Structure 1
């Protein structure tokens, strides 16, 4: 039987190989080239909410006034996630984790529990990283429902947010997310950490792109990412940013099932 280290090395290799072949085109499509994809900005979600709801809905900051940013991590938990959680706890920074199922949730269930217990938002990145736009409706439902069941079993709370693999989504995905009570979350900042283990480069890419209401995409799966996180946090705090989860970024609004946020 292969060791856990060997299994995780193989998992990273498979995931990295898929990303290296398809991620560049997919990210371009999702973030700039898909003219028909309608997304909602965090500021628009906040503006749609009634003022009377504000105080009850807020987490750590009022992002209508504060310069907020959301750290999000895809494709964990992994062997690096415990260290990441230590860093976030030390820095007092909440994050949103879009978790993979197979070889991740089922390999590190205690880390899923810890994420929820320490105040992070636990969300879905599907069970097997299947490209949803190339899947049947039944396959899409299973990719979303399987991690939902496992996360709910481990944390007591069913996810309401998901991030489609490679950011690929369409009307069928929107409709099924609406049916399942889930909202889609894309990103506005990417370090492309699936292409490099250079922590300094990852840090620079984030800092060069970030602006108010930014949703930062990182992967705690890769070796260079977690070492970059302290520098990213410290630099953005120096610039006056406040870190929040994605739901806190939208507050006093709430994510609407079937809608896409970026």
Structure 2
């Protein structure tokens, strides 16, 4: 299928198939379902707000210690982790704390949030961004709207019960989204976040290879996708952070990357 664009300002109307190759996503879907998508740099350019950026870059309900950063000036990249928390998350949080880096955690509900509330509280307490990756990793475009809504709303409820805060960002499993998912997300106050860098750490436990893949793909305003559930990923993080800093990157949360723009519910953000 050819690519389809409908430009409204800096937003792009994007077909599901064909537009995500830069993120190394193979979406085995048919038809021409579409959704609104914008890049972080375009969101910032369209925004009105403080010229100095937003402290901690957190969305509504996301408060805590953080840093002042303006990604219109700094060479930023967002660091994200999917599918946790897990038995590896505390070690990851130790590394991030030592390196004074904040990340966005797109968390699963079943067997993760539900079983590891202490890690969820620690993620929040240490200034990281709480985000939604559905309850049981169902492909949202392949299930009924009511079920898709439950997949997201159960995580919202669980995180709010544990931390008193409600996520404003979600990542659809496998990056699969469409107008239906966008409408559900909008109703739940969730912006959608895809990615531009993937180490495919679900395929390998080779930390050196994970590091190599991330560094080869990372560019300014990128969004890095890693998983804190796989054995090889967390050991790769110190080397990734060291080299990114050496290359002049400021490592931020997704909301910091978008600031002064606020994540728009239903919108898909993709570098």
Is 2:127 aligned against 1:130?
Answer: no
Answer whether contact 2:35 2:182 (CA < 8 A) is retained: no
Show the counterpart of 1:223.
231
Tell me by how many angstroms 1:49 deviates.
1.2
- Describe the superposition over 1:168-196 as per-residue Cα deviations: whole angstroms up to 9, x where unpaired: 11110001111111100000100000000
The within-5 A match list for 1:158-197 is 158-197=166-205
- RMSD between superposed Cα atoms in Å: 1.7
Show the counterpart of 1:44.
42
Show the counterpart of 1:98.
106
Is 2:252 aligned against 1:260?
Answer: no
Tell me by how many angstroms 1:218 deviates.
0.2
Answer whether contact 1:197 1:225 (CA < 8 A) is retained: yes
Answer whether contact 2:76 2:221 (CA < 8 A) is retained: yes
Instruction: Give the TM-score taking structure 1 as reference length.
Output: 0.86
Show the counterpart of 2:63.
none
The within-5 A match list for 1:190-209 is 190-209=198-217
SS for the counterpart of 1:76 is coil
* Structure (1/2) with the larger helix percentage: 1
Show the counterpart of 2:247.
239
Using the alignment, how far apart are the partners of 1:34 and 1:249 within structure 2?
29
Using the alignment, how far apart are the partners of 2:36 and 2:183 within structure 1?
14
Which structure 1 residue ranges, 4+ long, deviate > 4 Å from structure 2?
Answer: 33-38
Instruction: Give the TM-score taking structure 2 as reference length.
Output: 0.83
Tell me by how many angstroms 1:55 deviates.
3.6
Gaps of 5+ in 1: 1-25
One of 119, 123, 131 as aligned partner of 1:115: 123
